[in-house]
Structure formats: C-alpha cells, structure tokens
Amino acid sequence: MATLKNDRYIKALLREPVDMTPVWMMRQAGRYLPEYKATRAEAGDFMSLCRNADLACEVTLQPLRRYDLDAAILFSDILTIPDAMGLGLSFGVGEGPKFAHPIETKTAVENLPIPDPEVELQYVMNAVRTIRRELNGEVPLIGFSGSPWTLATYMVEGGSSKAFTKIKKMMYSDPKVLHQLLDKLAYSVSLYLNAQIKAGAQSVMIFDTWGGVLGHREYLDFSLQYMHKIVDNLIRENEGNKVPVTLFTKGGGLWLEAIADTGCDAIGLDWTVNLADAKARVGHKVALQGNMDPSVLYAPAERIEQEVKQILADFGKGSGHVFNLGHGIHQDVPENSPHIFVEAIHQYSQPYHK
C-alpha cells in the first residue's frame, strides 16, 4: 500500500477528517515562475517540454519547492489526445493551440484512431512515472484530461474560439456526428486516465473548460453525459488506495446537482459560485474544490487573506473542501502572492477542522 507523508488532499476529496484545508493551484506549474520559463527555454517549445519526462517532472516539482502545496499536478496539456489522433497540433509563439487538420466531416470522425496511452501517449505515462518516483510520497500526484466536449471544441474549431460557431453548427445541424466524436473521445479519455492511474496518478481531474458555453439541455447531452461515461469507466482503487475523481466545468454552477449525480468524488467550482450555496446543494454527496478568483492574487496581502477567510467561512466546518483558484493562475501575478495565499489557507482553516 502506497503511503503518503501528506494525504490531506486525498482525504478532503473523500470527505474524511483533515487537520487543515488542503490547497493546490490550477496551472501551478507554469508561466508565472521564472524557473519554469528557463526550463521551457531549455526544452525549445511547449510540446517538447511535455514530451521530455525529466523536464516535465522538473516543472511539476518547481511550485512545490516554493510553496507549501498539498498536491502536485502532472505537467501536460489537455490537447494531448487530439494530437495523438493525428490532428497536427502546434503552438505558435504567444498564440494558442492550432490544429492543421480540424474535424469537419463524418468521414473525418470515423477515421479518427483511438490512441494507445502506452504507445502514442507514452511520453505522458513516462512523465507520470518519473514525477511519482521523484515526489517520493511527499504529496499526491494529480493526473488529468480535458473533457470530451472541451477537446471536441478545439478539434472542430481548429483551435481556440470565442463564439464556438463551428462546433455549435455541428451540434445543431448534425448532432449524430458530434455524438460519434464525443463517444470516441470519452473512450479515449477513459483509457488515458486509467493509464495515468496505473502509472502512478493518485487522483484524476477532468477539465471541462468550455462546458459553460452550452445551453442547459445541451450541457447535459453533449458534455455531462460523456463525463459521466468516463467516471463509470475509471479505476477507482489502485495500490490499495481509493483514487478520487474531480469534475470541473468552468461556468458549471447551474448544474452542480447533475454533476454530483455522475458518481464523481468532487466538483471543481469557478469563482461565480458561492461555496455555502454549493455545499447546501450537493455537500452531502461530493467534496468541493475551489474557488477564489485568480485575479485576487494581484491584490495586496491583506486583501488575499481577507478573501481566503471569506471562502473558508462560506464552506464552514468539516472536511470536503480542497482550496483552489476558480481557474488557472495568471502568468503575471507577483511571485510572493501564491505564498501568502497558501499560508493563509493553512493558518486560517485549522479552527474549521477541530
């Protein structure tokens, strides 16, 4: 049985008692750290960094050397699966992702291969194994994937989008083709996350970054249904320990009850949701992760501490809360702000766990 020196994060996800509220930050390994920029420059480009297990391990561990975080998250990208499907992923300097071969037809969907996680995506598993070894049981390692809907948006749009017109056109004019694509992606994500768990990830998270752009029924049909399929197919116990799964839909506050009904262990929340309300709606079923606006980290120390205290008070007593930002940390926050944030959570959360 794998033992962790600090298992606060896993315990909180399983709603077991903890001594203080655990914290990690979305995108904690990344561009706000000068040492990350140096490692990325050494790698040459973003995907080369992802594909080099030692360098991916290095950037995963960098924030843990600076801040007293309760979990590490695999350094990778949500678009690894579409890339492995042969869509020709590239990242221009200062630009978002682009696909050379976007999905435009039924035939393109039918021809998409299902990537083997230990072949086409072996570099990710190598990174997981390397990070897990180097962590040496200090804190748990989080694995992750993009949600089928979110991956599909990039694959159909050919990159980032503001209006999502191409994928919504497919959704309303040719829903069968989109369902076929989402089904393939759900299967691929299940294989991918299970391979991460076998390689050593102790918890997994599904990022549904663009679920919030959907209408009510469309979210349930085109996004949540497929995340539910993945949850049903995941390995939930490994090395004698439970492997918790967190679902995070940005802009998903309308659907908390439905998300909780998937059988996930925790729901990630963005900053538009009040934690007390969320807990009242689903608290008996799942843990909650979140949900400070990342922009608070631009504020002076007292303001950061005030926000931390307010969010802790909103959740109230007991376990089942993993403190996090409501989305990824911004790349230009002051270097000391995450330190103030993390220390405040550990300090001010202790009375809630007595």
Any known ligand binding at 7? no
Any known ligand binding at 94? no
Output the pLDDT for position 88.
Answer: 94
Output the pLDDT for position 6.
Answer: 98
pLDDT in tens, 31-56: 999 999 999 999 999 999 999 999 99
Output the pLDDT for position 91.
Answer: 87
Any known ligand binding at 154? yes
Any known ligand binding at 347? no
Any known ligand binding at 15? no
Indicate whether 92 pLDDT > 80: no
Instruction: Cite the active site residues.
Output: 27, 31, 40, 77, 154
CATH code for the domain defined by 8-295+321-331: 3.20.20.210
Output the pLDDT for position 284.
Answer: 86
Question: Across all residues in the chain, what is the average pLDDT?
Answer: 97
78, 146 in Cβ contact below 8 A?
yes
Any known ligand binding at 187? no
Indicate whether 3 pLDDT > 90: no
Any known ligand binding at 209? yes
CB neighbour list of residue 53: distance below 8 Å, 6 or more residues apart: 123, 126, 127, 129, 130
* Residue ranges per structural domain of the chain: 8-295+321-331
Burial degree of 116 (CB within 10 A; 0-12, 13-18, 19+): middle
DSSP 176-222: HHHHHHHHHHHHHHHHHHHHHHHHT-SEEEEEETTGGGS-HHHIIII
Binned at pLDDT 50, 70 and 90, residue 310 comes out as: very high
pLDDT in tens, 14-37: 999 999 999 999 999 999 999 999
Residue range 158-183: mean pLDDT, rounded? 97
Indicate whether 1 pLDDT > 60: no
Any known ligand binding at 232? no
Output the pLDDT for position 113.
Answer: 98
Distances from the Cα of 331 to the Cα of 33, 132, 214, angstroms: 8, 26, 28
Output the pLDDT for position 2.
Answer: 66
Indicate whether 194 pLDDT > 60: yes
Q: Name the β-bridge partners of 90.
A: 98
Distances from the Cα of 46 to the Cα of 51, 321, 338, angstroms: 9, 32, 23
Start-to-end Cα distance in the chain? 28
Any known ligand binding at 54? no
CA atoms within 13 A on the CB side of 172: 7
- Reported residue count of the chain is 354
Sign of the Cα torsion 195, 198, 200, 205 reads: positive
pLDDT in tens, 118-149: 999 999 999 999 999 999 999 999 999 999 99
